[in-house]
Structure 1
Amino acid sequence: MKTTLKVLAGIAVAAFFLWIAFKEVEFEQIIEASKSMSYGWILPFVGCILFAHLMRALRWKLLFTDKEKTPHSITLFTGVMVGYLSNIPFARLGEVTRPVYVAQQVGESNSKLIGTIVLERIIDVVSMLLLMTFVVVFMISSPDILSNLFGMDITDSSVLMSFGWSALKFLGIVALVIAVLYMALKALSKQGGVVEKGFQKFKEIVKTFVDGVLAVRELKNWPLFILYTILIWVAYICMTYIPFYMFDMVETFDLSFADALVITMVSAVGIIIPTPGGVGTYHLFVTKSLFLLFAVPETIGLAYGTITHASTLAVVIISTPILLAIDKYVVLKKGATNGN
């Protein structure tokens, strides 16, 4: 029942943002705008999608400290794609299915690998905030544009302080709940029996989770880790930039790679909002940012957002079963080799 409610809530949020994105645009206009697109750019666009996910898998591999339980790169790549596939029907489910899939393949703890995903997300958020700061300070001329785009002036220090304080309060509440739960289980565990066993299991899960988060302490190849992170963001920006050519937006609206960086950062905000597969939020943020920042008509912007998003989902849906089959073959071959 709880899972059903989460799915319905995600669908409702996606539907709401889709309605906002489409309410001022006729669907026939989007179809018409899509007819003139150059399909030859789809191949390099698909290549950028797969490259970004591969770099994420190779970066993840650096966080495995136990050589005997370090997965094959194909297994990690498959795990990343399984995660994205899970996100399509269920928002954020991929954060769990990705580590669980890989953990099953190598016999590692689920909670430890979930900890490495949390670490990855922290790094992604930090790098995204750095890029956003660069975009806001150096690439967007008018704060009024940001106010229209996000519904608030994110350059206002009081707004940022309020946001930061709200985030700290949320983290504080989470920490308090965990602490109370821990103390309650610890007190009950003194009675022995099932509760004590459950408490010991809880402590073991927490420990392995923390070990996963703290895997960064044992990271030996920081330059390569940073390089993979840079390549992931470069690929994301290319995924924004290449479709500019599909819709002849480079010539018509004089859009550049730097402009693609701006749109990538804005769309990243939309992706953060938990909707299944980023549906609705991505469309709205991309359409509005293209219109407000670069005067791209909303019809073209929405066609751009719809095609790029649908293509991204199609790549995930088509490639994941293929990778699962390849990974199964690699695992079986590795097992046969070890058996000999």
Structure 2
Amino acid sequence: MKPHKKRILFIAGILISFICSWLFVRKIEWTSLGMAFREARYIYIFPTIIILFVNYYLRAIRWEVLLSPVKKISIVNLFSVVVIGFMANNLLPARLGEVIRPAMIARKEKIKISTLFATIVMERIFDVLGIIVIASLLFYFLPSETDSQSIIHQLKKWSVIMAFFGICAITSMFLLSLYPEKAGAVFEKMLFVFPHNLRDTLVNLLHSFVSGLQIFDHKTKLIWVGILSLIIWFFNAASVYVLCYSFSIGLSFAGACFVIVCLALAVALPQAPGFIGVFHIATQKSLNVFDVSISSAQSFAILLWAISVIPVTIAGLLFLWREGMSLREISHYDEENIPE
């Protein structure tokens, strides 16, 4: 990513996080918030953390399945890199964790990074499709009170938009994998204005990218990736559901799924590292739909954010130390010429 683009995204993210933080903090009743934390049952923190780390392990399994047609890689190694990626997203700007993950595997396993980026793109597509499925199912379980209708309407609208782009993306990836030579020929014609050497380089990158889509040749594995994606999102919802018991919030599992869908939409925005502000206001507003008091919703949002960010950040730093690398080193991965 070019420095000026990274700077623009960083500034935009800071502004969005600042606005969301202000919207969240301005309604805090500090006495009620303190009472909510004093009365909380923190025993539920431990199972919530376990659920979150099982979720990261499931993501490693899914990545291993996507990579298996290219090369067999240990799930344990992928798990450590997944955790490092989430740590990087919490500490570094511009979602660098999504660049760091394939860059680390490219260096360790001698795989072309463009091939690895294809698997990351597939992950994101399946994440979107998983959210669409969950959001669609929620329409049968969400409350029908007047106060919640506008939010539900917005959720339906965004689900339709996500479904459109998700279907277009998965169709494009499938056609690329099905007709790689034709795609390369069309792509090369589109680049006729570029110098010959640059055109050849870009076409080679496309072919390397397509090689990361070999999962389409394995229908059973593709179905397994889809199932894993749904399980991953249900585990995310389970972490919300379990943690609700800390504040005696009577939220159904469908309600927990609703919170996760709202969070998934919110964190897609540019924002400061660690999702500060955006995470909090999205959690609070989604809980308000179920008539959860502001103090309970805010205290829950703060605790959920801390549990979602702090443990994986510590674990990611430990894994990075085990790899003999520093945060400064991986923060420049997007600026380095990683072998293609």
What TM-score comes out, normalization by structure 2 length?
A: 0.79
Shift in CA distance, 277/315, structure 1 to aligned 2, threshold 3 Å: same
State whether residues 143 and 155 of structure 1, in contact with CA within 8 Å, keep that contact through their aligned partners in structure 2: no
Aligned partner of 2:314: which letter?
I
Aligned to 1:72: 74
State whether residues 215 and 222 of structure 2, in contact with CA within 8 Å, keep that contact through their aligned partners in structure 1: no
Answer yes or no: is 1:17 the counterpart of 2:11.
no
Residue of structure 2 aligned with 1:282, choices 263, 279, 282: 279
Please give the alpha-carbon distance, in whole angstroms, between the structure 2 residues aligned to 1:255 and 1:21: 21
Task: Report SS of the residue matched to 1:315.
Answer: helix
Task: Report SS of the residue matched to 1:138.
Answer: coil
Shift in CA distance, 203/306, structure 1 to aligned 2, threshold 3 Å: same
Please give the alpha-carbon distance, in whole angstroms, between the structure 2 residues aligned to 1:313 and 1:263: 17
Aligned to 1:187: 193
State whether residues 241 and 256 of structure 2, in contact with CA within 8 Å, keep that contact through their aligned partners in structure 1: yes
Shift in CA distance, 93/140, structure 1 to aligned 2, threshold 3 Å: farther
Please give the alpha-carbon distance, in whole angstroms, between the structure 1 residues aligned to 2:235 and 2:218: 27
Q: Any gaps of 5 or more consecutive residues in structure 1?
A: 172-178, 190-195, 329-340
Shift in CA distance, 38/323, structure 1 to aligned 2, threshold 3 Å: same
Please give the alpha-carbon distance, in whole angstroms, between the structure 1 residues aligned to 2:162 and 2:46: 41
Shift in CA distance, 127/60, structure 1 to aligned 2, threshold 3 Å: same
Q: CA deviation at 1:165?
A: 12
Aligned partner of 2:278: which letter?
T
Answer yes or no: is 1:117 the counterpart of 2:114.
no
Residue of structure 2 aligned with 1:317, choices 308, 313, 316: 313
Map 1:215-254 → 2, pairs under 5 A: 215-218=215-218, 220-222=220-222, 224-249=224-249, 254=250
Aligned to 1:7: 10
Task: Report SS of the residue matched to 1:97.
Answer: helix
State whether residues 21 and 280 of structure 1, in contact with CA within 8 Å, keep that contact through their aligned partners in structure 2: yes
Instruction: Flag the structure with larger Rg.
Output: 1
Please give the alpha-carbon distance, in whole angstroms, between the structure 2 residues aligned to 1:280 and 1:79: 26
Please give the alpha-carbon distance, in whole angstroms, between the structure 2 residues aligned to 1:165 and 1:121: 13
Give the percent of matched residue pairs that are identical in Structure 1 and Structure 2.
Answer: 24
Aligned to 2:172: none
Please give the alpha-carbon distance, in whole angstroms, between the structure 2 residues aligned to 1:30 and 1:183: 61
State whether residues 84 and 97 of structure 2, in contact with CA within 8 Å, keep that contact through their aligned partners in structure 1: yes
What TM-score comes out, normalization by structure 1 length?
A: 0.79
Q: CA deviation at 1:64?
A: 1.6
Q: Any gaps of 5 or more consecutive residues in structure 2?
A: 170-184, 325-340
Q: CA deviation at 1:326?
A: 5.2
**What is the number of residues matched between the two proteins?**
303
State whether residues 130 and 226 of structure 2, in contact with CA within 8 Å, keep that contact through their aligned partners in structure 1: no
Aligned Cα RMSD in Å?
A: 3.0
Q: CA deviation at 1:258?
A: 2.8
